[in-house]
A = this chain, B = another copy of it.
Amino acid sequence: MVNLAVIYYSSTGTNYQLAKWAEEAGKEAGADVRVVKVPELAPEAAIASNPGWKAHVEETKDVPEATSDDIEWADAIIFSVPTRFGNLASQMKQYLDMQGGLWATGKTVNKVVSAMSSAQNPHGGQEATILALYTSMMHWGAIIVPPGYTDQLLFAAGGNPYGTSVTQGQDGKMVEDVQAAVKHQAKRTIEIAKKVANK
């Protein structure tokens, strides 16, 4: 059984929803799945000033925080992270940076990795953010499995070959329907992880 860690950061819920869809697909594919959130860096006051952010923090207070153990345990990792100025939200970067100890012992090697993202504009850094995540994964000795154009349904979701990405509208809702794309990406990731991990 493949161990899949879905590691996400979400302020108002978009990437949490992407993570949940990945979890669903992972379970359907027979994987053991953990959905974990990276620790928040923003001060309480910033969160409190944004009703959507505050509500989401409350809604997900029981989601476990990601640790080094989640990476060590995983055969496959799916990251989901919003773009901030064309790069990972700092919360996710901080989580990655803190894995230096795990990295030094070689325990990040051969993890099968795929990533998803969101932005407020259709071309608001979705590509750049996923590519930046993969660059870090190369330092980890991970094996990178982007969706490419491996299924027709990906075209309907915007055709981002690096990973599923979605535009978050002014109303906080997703503009494109990417549920099927997320599930395809998760299944593909697990399928490759099964082979790499001999499971």
> Which secondary structure dominates chain A's binding surface?
loop
Give CA–CA (A143, B195) in the complex, Å: 12
> Is the interface on chain A under 10, 10 to 19, 20 to 34, or 35 or more residues?
35 or more
Q: Which residue of B lies closest to A89 (CB)?
A: B97
Q: Which residue of B lies closest to A113 (CB)?
A: B144
Which residues from chain B contact A196 at a C-beta distance below 8 Å? 192, 195-196
Give CA–CA (A88, B88) in the complex, Å: 10
Q: Is the CB of A123 within 8 A of B121?
A: no
Which of B84, B135, B158 is in CB contact (< 8 Å) with A123?
Answer: B158
| Nearest-Cβ distance from residue A149 to partner chain B, whole angstroms | 6
How often does this chain occur in the complex, in copies? 4
Q: Report if A131 contacts B (CB, 8 A).
A: yes
| Nearest-Cβ distance from residue A72 to partner chain B, whole angstroms | 16
A residues adjacent to B (C-beta < 8 A): 41, 84-90, 93-94, 96-97, 100, 103, 106, 108-110, 120-128, 131-132, 134-136, 138-150, 155, 158-162, 165, 192, 195-196, 198
Q: A123-B161, A144-B146 are in contact. List 19 more A-B contacts (CB 8 A).
A: A84-B100, A85-B97, A90-B93, A90-B97, A103-B149, A110-B192, A122-B159, A123-B126, A124-B159, A125-B139, A128-B131, A134-B144, A138-B144, A138-B162, A141-B146, A141-B148, A141-B149, A195-B198, A196-B196
